[in-house]
Structure 1
């Protein structure tokens, strides 16, 4: 029973982090039909900005709350500005071209962003453990678990609920949904499709950078952290169904619990678990668990 509790808690904690990493990627794909490899670069930049902000705030005597506020706000703002710059200068020129070209473009942008982080922050590691240590631990059954990790799950739940509310209960969200289903019809009904697409990419970039900021107090922030993240995020959205927000939630839970179980029961296989789960799901549901029905042209 204790092992089952450990697997469940670790799995849910990891799933919360995975969802934060994947939500921006699946949102951009759902609206722009763009598999944004540069998402890993936004994540890395968000982590670097957060680690730097936390270090500066801590050295000046600020408490835990101001440290996190500066980290999260700074990462989201930088991510949004970079997203605006990239969408307006690069991606807007490629929307009418084959999808493979935009894929190559975002991969090139990812490499550029990786070099930008090295140029700005150097090649060493940044550490920002202060907020995570300050929150201490909480007892969950027989486990002592970091409060910061529990709060990460709570943040993921709030982001999921906020995304659902915006998409389903606001006029902007309905416009986004309309653009997802039919851009030409949406434009004919007066929806500013270009603004929706630009805004969605900016929000996706901000969410990617925010995920990096949330992660910064849990890791050593160093070059290359965006590489693994983009692979994991891609696995989550493929399992859940490309472009599906609910699918991203389920995909994160499936991957999180499977990885936690493998880590505790068969550590040597843990690295392959994500890919094994993805292969198993795609063998049964080639378009993911919650992929939207595709219209067939006759």
Structure 2
């Protein structure tokens, strides 16, 4: 029973992190039909901003309460994600709108490589550690032999809030209904007076901030080093493919499946941990190529 509880809690924590990473990627694809490979760089920028500012905050120069550092993490995600998202969308992607999806994958992959070098130029190649917010919340005992960091449990709650907020925004607000109209038919939405260009810009900025948020919230739990963006985009891609490209609910289900599968592998068969994520993706795509919640897309001829 203790092992089963550990598998479930570990899987839930890992799934919450995967969902935060994948949410921005699937939002951007769902609206703009861009599989944004540079999303991993947004994650890295959020992590580096959070790690560097957290280090300064706890160096004693700020003089403020340590609990305000959590607000700092969210601030890094909003400012960093918004800045890089608006810059990329306005300077590059808006000029390529409507091009073939494969071309957009190539362009955003090239952007990923460029931003990886920009990160090294700005922050260097040495690791950044921002462990203080992680330790600050302490630990909780699930059983006598099973303890988890409260920060990890808070990450689960944040992912639930983000998922619920995304669903509410898309299904219960006027802007969300307009966005869904753009998703279903851009031409008709434009003809009915919807500012599609503005919708695309807002969507990309929100997706960028979600990617940066995942990085900022992960920074206290890891060593922030060069290359984390490349590692993350592969995992995020696996999650959105399993759930179905463009589906928030699919991203959530995909994250849970991948998280639990990895947790089972870590505890029961650690030698296959590296392969189990892609095994889940293979099994899903073998029977449902569009993903669990993906919709078959009609092709105009």
Q: The TM-score by the shorter chain falls in which range?
A: over 0.9
What is the match of residue 101 of structure 1? 103
> How far has the Cα of 1:294 moved from its partner?
2.6
* Residue pair 1:57, 1:66 contacting (<8 A) in 2 also: no
Is the partner of 1:144 in helix, strand or coil?
Answer: strand
What is the match of residue 78 of structure 2? 76
What is the match of residue 119 of structure 1? 121
> How far has the Cα of 1:66 moved from its partner?
1.4
> How far has the Cα of 1:295 moved from its partner?
3.2
Q: How does 1:202-217 map to 2 (within 5 A)?
A: 202-217=205-220
Residue 25 (str. 1) matches residue 28 (str. 2): no
Whole-angstrom CA distance in 1 between matches of 2:10 and 2:57: 30
TM-score, normalisation: structure 2: 0.97
* Residue pair 2:240, 2:250 contacting (<8 A) in 1 also: yes
Residue 6 (str. 1) matches residue 6 (str. 2): yes
* Residue pair 2:42, 2:211 contacting (<8 A) in 1 also: yes
What is the match of residue 168 of structure 1? 171
Is the partner of 2:281 in helix, strand or coil?
Answer: helix
Whole-angstrom CA distance in 2 between matches of 1:57 and 1:221: 17
Is the partner of 2:251 in helix, strand or coil?
Answer: helix
> How far has the Cα of 1:100 moved from its partner?
1.7
Is the partner of 1:95 in helix, strand or coil?
Answer: coil
Residue 51 (str. 1) matches residue 54 (str. 2): no
Q: Deviations over 1:103-156 (max 9, x none)?
A: 111011111111111111111000000011111101223421100000000000
Match of 2:87 among 77, 85, 88: 85
Is the partner of 2:140 in helix, strand or coil?
Answer: strand
> What are the ranges of 5 or more consecutive residues in structure 1 without an aligned counterpart?
none
Q: Deviations over 1:212-261 (max 9, x none)?
A: 00000000001001111000000000000000000000000000000000
> How far has the Cα of 1:27 moved from its partner?
0.2
Whole-angstrom CA distance in 1 between matches of 2:105 and 2:300: 25
* Residue pair 1:54, 1:68 contacting (<8 A) in 2 also: no
Match of 1:288 among 279, 286, 291: 291
Is the partner of 2:297 in helix, strand or coil?
Answer: coil
> How far has the Cα of 1:34 moved from its partner?
0.3
Is the partner of 2:235 in helix, strand or coil?
Answer: helix
Is the partner of 2:29 in helix, strand or coil?
Answer: helix
What is the match of residue 147 of structure 2? 144
* Residue pair 2:290, 2:296 contacting (<8 A) in 1 also: no
Residue 246 (str. 1) matches residue 249 (str. 2): yes
> How far has the Cα of 1:57 moved from its partner?
0.9
> How far has the Cα of 1:18 moved from its partner?
0.4
Whole-angstrom CA distance in 1 between matches of 2:80 and 2:294: 32
Is the partner of 1:203 in helix, strand or coil?
Answer: helix
* Residue pair 2:77, 2:210 contacting (<8 A) in 1 also: no
TM-score, normalisation: structure 1: 0.98
RMSD of Structure 2 on Structure 1 (CA): 1.1
Is the partner of 1:186 in helix, strand or coil?
Answer: helix
* Residue pair 2:43, 2:215 contacting (<8 A) in 1 also: yes
What is the match of residue 131 of structure 1? 133
Is the partner of 1:148 in helix, strand or coil?
Answer: helix
